[in-house]
């Protein structure tokens, strides 16, 4: 039954809504989280068993369409498993008071949205579900502990910016192809296809945590280790799935080349940066970036089955880190490494696209403010020159003792005008 496809989206969403009621009760939230994740896994099992390959259409602001193909099945099961593992780890952290109880609701809502993204049959559904995970993911990370809100906001900002890139890429594809159905996207070999793939890759690689778009991952893992483990795992699965899903559509050599470049950039430096870390929670995040590089290389050069297997295996491993959060919190520092390690840490910071982009954003902002100031200066010139009398009159009227009555009389004039209009 195709309606079974709705279960992996609805069950965690409903469970998340119930968990919202327990934001002040830690133990209840922990229990609800584990129960919700298990129910979600059961919903995925039912969907996998019951789906008959058809498309489910749901009417909304625009039509939402879901379908389950063999590729989606693998990733859906992987995500549900990662959800259960991470939910258990985070529930433990909630019960121990290291993570806020609201994390239970956030995780379940994020899980529902990401499962929807894997089931999406068209670009609009994908963007809706993909973006629908943003707020829950940010909330989940913000629940991670003291000082976690800023990395959570940074993650939200970067993921949302990545989504805009993704949206632009899909927009270009839809513009070129005249539709947004994922199964029928065949842009062929053209400059617009390359640009759109680069944008889609940028969007996916941010969630995948590939270098140099990985900055959110290490910062989030440092402040909110347990929730970050789930976010890293789920981001990896959803992004790898998206790239695999779109891979057949991009026939030219540009797509594998771009993925290979990002893969190499992530794999080597990821391992090096992980070794160089002085912060224990940052290390798994850098290892996750390295594994993302391996997934990208498999996507570029290997068979799809290898990329799928790597993505699922690495995601499950990343989810397991949610259990290691006590160590990360109790002993956050590793023995400090000087020399090369320190240089590597500095290099990692300089790779941060936020820093690289800051100059461009600042320049743009200065430009915008300059135009605004110019318009204001022009207004001042006009107002002080031509409009001095009018301004003076207005000001006197405004500050006068009987200004209220002046306003009344203006209203009276308007009423007279309205009356005259009646006989116009």
Partner 1 sequence: MAAHLDPTTSMTNLPLLLATSVTVPLAGALLLPLAGRISGALRSALALVFVLTALGCAVALLPAVLGGSTATVSVHGVALLHADRLAVFMALVSTLLGAVIVVYSFGYLSGLPNRDEYDLMVVLFLGAMMALVFARHLLVLYAAWELTAVACWRLIGFFRKDGCVLRADKAFLITALGAVLMLLGFIGVYVGQGTFDLGRLQGVRLPTWAAALILAGLFSKSATLPLHSWLPDAGVAPSPVTALLHAAVLVKIGVYVYARLFGATFVADPMVGEIVPWIAATSALVAGMAALLEHDLKRIIAYSTVSQIGFIFLGLAVGTPEATQGALLFVLMHAIAKGGLFLCAGIIEHGTHTKDIRKMGGLARAMPVTAGCFALCACSVMGLPPFGGYFSKHLVISGALAAGRLPVALVFLAGSGLTLLYLARVFDKVFLGPPGVAVQGRAVHEGTRLMVGCVAVLAALALGSGLFSRYPSAVAGAVARDLSRRPATLAEAGRVGP
Whole-angstrom Cα distance, residue 363 to residue 379?
24
SS3 content of the chain, % helix, strand, coil (to 5): 80, 5, 15
CB of residue 369 vs partner 1: minimum separation in angstroms? Answer: 5
Q: What are phi and psi of 409, to 5 degrees?
A: -70, -35
Which is nearer to partner 1, 5 or 156 (by Cβ)?
156
Is residue 421 within the footprint of partner 1 (CB under 8 A)?
yes
Element containing residue 56 per DSSP (H, E): strand 56-58
Check residue 400 and give left, alpha or beta (phi > 0: left; psi -120 to 50: alpha). Answer: beta
Size of the site for partner 1 (CB under 8 A): 61
Q: Which stretch binds partner 1 (CB under 8 A): 121-129, 255-263, 305-313, 316-324?
A: 121-129
CB of residue 126 vs partner 1: minimum separation in angstroms? Answer: 11
CB of residue 273 vs partner 1: minimum separation in angstroms? Answer: 25
Which is nearer to partner 1, 27 or 388 (by Cβ)?
388
Which is nearer to partner 1, 248 or 392 (by Cβ)?
392
Tokens of 45: 């099992």
CB of residue 373 vs partner 1: minimum separation in angstroms? Answer: 9
Q: Specify which residues 66 forms β-bridges with.
A: 56, 120
Element containing residue 27 per DSSP (H, E): helix 26-50
DSSP class of 163: H
Is residue 414 within the footprint of partner 1 (CB under 8 A)?
yes
Element containing residue 42 per DSSP (H, E): helix 26-50
Which is nearer to partner 1, 57 or 309 (by Cβ)?
57
CB of residue 261 vs partner 1: minimum separation in angstroms? Answer: 24
Which is nearer to partner 1, 27 or 362 (by Cβ)?
362
CA of 179: how far to CAs of 165, 167, 168, 186, 329, in Å? 18, 14, 14, 11, 48
Pair 183, 55: CB distance under 8 Å: no
Residues 359-378 close enough to bind partner 1 by CB under 8 A: 361-362, 364-369, 371-372, 375-376, 378
CB of residue 191 vs partner 1: minimum separation in angstroms? Answer: 13
Q: Which stretch binds partner 1 (CB under 8 A): 1-9, 217-225, 325-333, 386-394?
A: 386-394
Contact string (CB under 8 A) for partner 1, positions 154-173, x = contact = --xx--xx--x--xx--xx-
Q: Specify which residues 56 forms β-bridges with.
A: 66
CB of residue 180 vs partner 1: minimum separation in angstroms? Answer: 8
Is residue 15 within the footprint of partner 1 (CB under 8 A)?
no
Strand 56-58 and strand 64-66: the pairing is: antiparallel
**Nearest of 236, 239, 241, 245 to residue 315 by alpha carbon:** 236
Which is nearer to partner 1, 257 or 362 (by Cβ)?
362
Which is nearer to partner 1, 179 or 346 (by Cβ)?
179
Whole-angstrom Cα distance, residue 41 to residue 47?
10
DSSP 125-179: HHHHHHHHTHHHHHHHHHTTSTT-HHHHHHHHHHHHHHHHHHHHHHHHHHHHHS-
Is residue 132 within the footprint of partner 1 (CB under 8 A)?
yes
Q: Which of 1, 27, 60, 189 binds partner 1 (CB under 8 A)?
A: 60
Residues 6+ apart with CB under 8 A from 392: none
Is residue 383 within the footprint of partner 1 (CB under 8 A)?
yes
Whole-angstrom Cα distance, residue 28 to residue 223?
24
Tokens of 206: 């941010």
Whole-angstrom Cα distance, residue 109 to residue 321?
20
Which is nearer to partner 1, 128 or 276 (by Cβ)?
128
Contact string (CB under 8 A) for partner 1, positions 61-90, x = contact = xx----------------------------
Is residue 128 within the footprint of partner 1 (CB under 8 A)?
yes
CB of residue 324 vs partner 1: minimum separation in angstroms? Answer: 27
Whole-angstrom Cα distance, residue 236 to residue 234?
5
Residues 389-408 close enough to bind partner 1 by CB under 8 A: 390-391, 394-395, 398-399, 403-404, 407-408
Pair 32, 22: CB distance under 8 Å: yes
Pair 241, 311: CB distance under 8 Å: yes
CB of residue 66 vs partner 1: minimum separation in angstroms? Answer: 15
Q: Which residues are near partner 1 by CB under 8 A?
A: 59-62, 124, 127-129, 131-132, 134-135, 149-150, 153, 156-157, 160-161, 164, 167-168, 171-172, 174-175, 361-362, 364-369, 371-372, 375-376, 378-379, 383, 387, 390-391, 394-395, 398-399, 403-404, 407-408, 410-411, 414, 417-418, 421-424
């Amino acid at each position: 039954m195709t309606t079974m496809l709705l279960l992996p989206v609805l069950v965690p969403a409903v469970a998340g809504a119930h968990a919202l009621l327990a934001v002040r009760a830690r133990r209840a939230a922990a229990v609800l989280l584990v129960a919700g994740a298990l129910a979600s896994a059961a919903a995925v099992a039912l969907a996998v068993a019951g789906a008959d390959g058809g498309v489910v259409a749901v009417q909304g602001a625009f039509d939402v369409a879901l379908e389950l193909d063999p590729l989606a099945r693998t990733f859906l099961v992987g995500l549900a498993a990662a959800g259960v593992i991470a939910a258990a780890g985070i529930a433990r952290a909630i019960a121990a008071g290291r993570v806020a109880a609201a994390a239970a609701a956030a995780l379940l809502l994020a899980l529902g949205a990401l499962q929807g993204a894997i089931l999406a049959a068209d670009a609009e559904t994908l963007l809706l579900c993909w973006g629908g995970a943003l707020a829950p993911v940010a909330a989940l990370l913000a629940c991670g502990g003291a000082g976690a809100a800023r990395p959570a906001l940074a993650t939200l900002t970067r993921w949302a910016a990545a989504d805009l890139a993704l949206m632009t890429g899909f927009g270009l594809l839809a513009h070129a192809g005249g539709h947004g159905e994922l199964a029928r996207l065949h842009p062929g070999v053209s400059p617009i296809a390359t640009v759109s793939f680069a944008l889609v890759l940028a969007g996916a690689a941010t969630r995948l945590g590939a270098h140099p778009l990985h900055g959110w991952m290490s910062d989030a893992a440092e402040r909110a280790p347990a929730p970050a483990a789930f976010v890293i795992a789920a981001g990896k699965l959803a992004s790898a799935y998206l790239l695999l899903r779109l891979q057949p559509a991009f026939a030219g050599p540009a797509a594998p080349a771009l993925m290979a470049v990002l893969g190499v950039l992530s794999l080597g430096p990821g391992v090096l940066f992980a070794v160089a870390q002085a912060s224990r929670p940052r290390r798994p995040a850098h290892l996750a970036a390295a594994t993302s590089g391996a997934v990208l290389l498999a996507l570029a050069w290997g068979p799809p089955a290898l990329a799928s297997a790597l993505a699922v295996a690495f995601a499950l491993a990343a989810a397991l880190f949610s259990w290691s959060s006590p160590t990360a919190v109790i002993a956050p520092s590793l023995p400090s490494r000087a020399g090369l390690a320190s240089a590597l840490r500095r290099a990692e910071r300089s790779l941060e696209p936020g820093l690289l982009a800051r100059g461009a954003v600042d320049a743009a902002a200065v430009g915008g403010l300059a135009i605004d100031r110019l318009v204001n200066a022009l207004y001042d010139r006009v107002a002080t020159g031509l409009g001095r009398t009018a301004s003076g009159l207005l000001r006197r009227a405004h500050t006068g003792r009987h200004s209220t009555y002046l306003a009344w009389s203006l209203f009276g004039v308007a009423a007279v005008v309205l009356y005259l209009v009646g006989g116009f």
